[in-house]
Amino acid sequence: MVYLLKIMLFNTINKFSERLVNKLIFLFAFIIITIVLSLTFISYKIIQNDTVKNLIANDLNNLVLVNKNFEKYFIDIGKYSFPLTNYDNFMNAVVNESGDYTQSIYLENCLKNLISQRKDINSVFLYLPKEKKYYFVEYNNFDLTVKIFYNQDFSKFAWYRKLNSSTTNTYIQPLVTDKENGYSISGRNLFIMYHRILRNISNREPLAVISLCINSVGKNEILNDIPIKHGDHTLLLDEGNRIFYTNIPSY
């Protein structure tokens, strides 16, 4: 009887031990799996955060580069709009063109020269406030055509007033949001109007305005530095938050 009880007790202990071992194995396995999964999740999050940070850093670097390139581009256009070569001859022609046909032809040739040397210029205008007229040159069937428009008073336009009061004698007009300027403009994919006022040195009186209608060639070359994905929106703003370009359809 005692032997039987010992056997039963031994069997009970064995069964209990087996169940305990199984539970411990399951517990340890669960702990190990939990640790592995946790470490995997943490590693994934770390890699994900690093990837996001790298993407943001790359995007910021691209934006800084694009901003610098646009600054250089606008400075380059500004220099190009100023007739440094033969400036005295140009201003003499501006003052005397109404009574001297040769001076008028000289101005036409200057405008043709301006438009023919850059692929990003759609058309060139020369406005004479005193005469209230402007010269206009553009490519017409691959030929340069110069036209003159009379009885043109631009003092009513905001861009002209801002240009006349500008300390730099320049004003950039974004055509995506401000197309009204009084000029006869045609063409597609136009970007900006770059206006420069030329004054009488002695009394600061405005004598002429050179306006360059710039197409999107240069802008597109600069924006190619940004890897724009489907669904991304791009805005080009100045310091006054004026929109110069956007790919948002509502604009």
Spell out the domain ranges in the chain: 81-221
Instruction: Assess contact for 136 and 145: CB atoms under 8 A.
Output: no
Of the chain, the percentage scoring pLDDT greater than 70 comes to 86
| CATH class of the region 81-221 | alpha beta
pLDDT at position 32, please?
78
101-116 and 87-96 helices cross at what angle (nearest 10)?
130
Assess whether pLDDT exceeds 50 at residue 43: yes
Give the pLDDT confidence score for residue 58 in this predicted structure.
Answer: 74
Task: Please tell me the chain's helix, strand, coil percentages from 3-state DSSP, rounded to the nearest 5.
Answer: 50, 20, 30
Residue that wins the pLDDT comparison between 152 and 56: 152
> What is the pLDDT at residue 193?
95
The burial class, CB within 10 Å (0-12 / 13-18 / 19+), for 126 is buried
- Kindly report whether the global pTM for this prediction surpasses the value 0.85: no
* Phi, psi (deg, nearest 5) at residue 83: -75, 75
For residue 94 the two structure tokens come to: 């501006």
The answer to whether 111 touches 137, Cβ cutoff 8 Å, is: yes
- Confidence tier at 171 by pLDDT (50, 70, 90): very high
pLDDT tens, residue by residue, 73-110: 999 999 999 876 788 999 999 999 988 999 999 999 99
pLDDT band at 2 (very low <50, low <70, confident <90, very high): very low
- Within the chain, strands assigned E span 121-128, 133-140, 143-149, 170-174, 190-199, 206-215, 235-237, 243-246
Selected residue with higher pLDDT from 116 and 14: 116
% pLDDT > 90, the chain: 46
Instruction: Tell me the residue length of the chain.
Output: 251
The yes-or-no verdict on residue 167 having pLDDT over 60 is yes
Residue range 182-235, pLDDT digits in tens? 898 887 889 999 999 999 988 999 999 999 999 999 999 998 877 777 777 788
Question: What pLDDT is stored for residue 7 in this prediction?
Answer: 52
pLDDT, greater one: 49 or 1: 49
Q: How far is CA 168 from the centre of its chain?
A: 22
Which is more confidently placed, 235 or 26? 235
